[in-house]
Amino acid sequence: MARVCLLGEDDIDLRYELLSRETAREALATYDLRQPYHNAVALETVSLGAAVALLNDLNWYLVRFVDEALVREPSVSGDEWLSRDLATALRDDAVTPAASGRFCKVYGVATAGEGTGTDSQAPDGAADDGDGVDTTRRGPARRLVDPMFVTRTGPELPTYDLRDVDGTVVVRVTETEFGA
């Protein structure tokens, strides 16, 4: 199962914007929507191709409301996300999974209220499915902050050092996205 995570722009409520529009609401109707991070919408699809197709279907909304569209495909990496462009390149066989891990964007994961600009707390009884996804579907207490671009030169990534964080989220990106 491939996962999709849409990170909303700071000045809008992503879930509201997507579900208040008929076309986006219909495209998302068959999915169980989650909120793994502040102002994010996540879901599972059956394959990398289905994830890319969904993102293509939602493109009008992504351009207007989404800061970042991420895809996680277990056959590529069990713990790293792919940018939309890299997911598309992998689906189209323009890049091999083995060649996809050199360029990365690493986000810090900060707990709400710790310099993140929000005072929301984790919901009582919140459950995590092991991927950082709040399975209660209520607002999470975590936010992705301060992305850092890094190049993998060996098996390990450089340490995230932009601020103290609770963890990191690694997103593999294309060479073009890395240099942008």
**Helix/strand/coil for 103:** strand
Look up residue 5 and give its two tokens: 């995570």
What's phi and psi for 43, nearest 5 deg?
Answer: -160, 165
- The band of 77, judged by pLDDT with boundaries at 50, 70 and 90, is very high
Q: Give the residue from 89, 52, 53, 64 showing the smallest Cα distance to 176.
A: 89
pLDDT for position 121: 34
Please state, rounded to an integer, the average pLDDT across all residues of the chain. 86
pLDDT for position 124: 32
- The band of 179, judged by pLDDT with boundaries at 50, 70 and 90, is confident
pLDDT for position 176: 92
pTM of the model: 0.84
Instruction: In whole angstroms, give the CA distance from residue 134 to residue 126.
Output: 6
Over residues 67-86, mean pLDDT: 96
105 forms bridges with which residues in the sheet?
A: 149, 171
Would you give the end-to-end CA distance of the chain in angstroms? 30
Domain 2-95 matching CATH 3.30.160: the answer reads: no
Least confident of 49-53, 130-134, 147-151: 130-134
- The band of 141, judged by pLDDT with boundaries at 50, 70 and 90, is confident
Least confident of 8-17, 106-115, 162-171: 106-115
Over residues 32-46, mean pLDDT: 96
Q: Give the residue from 170, 138, 158, 179 showing the smallest Cα distance to 37.
A: 138
pLDDT in tens, 91-137: 999 999 999 999 999 999 998 665 444 433 333 333 444 454 444 44
Question: Domain residues of the chain, as ranges?
Answer: 2-95, 103-179
DSSP 153: -
Strand 66-72 relative to strand 81-83, pairing: antiparallel
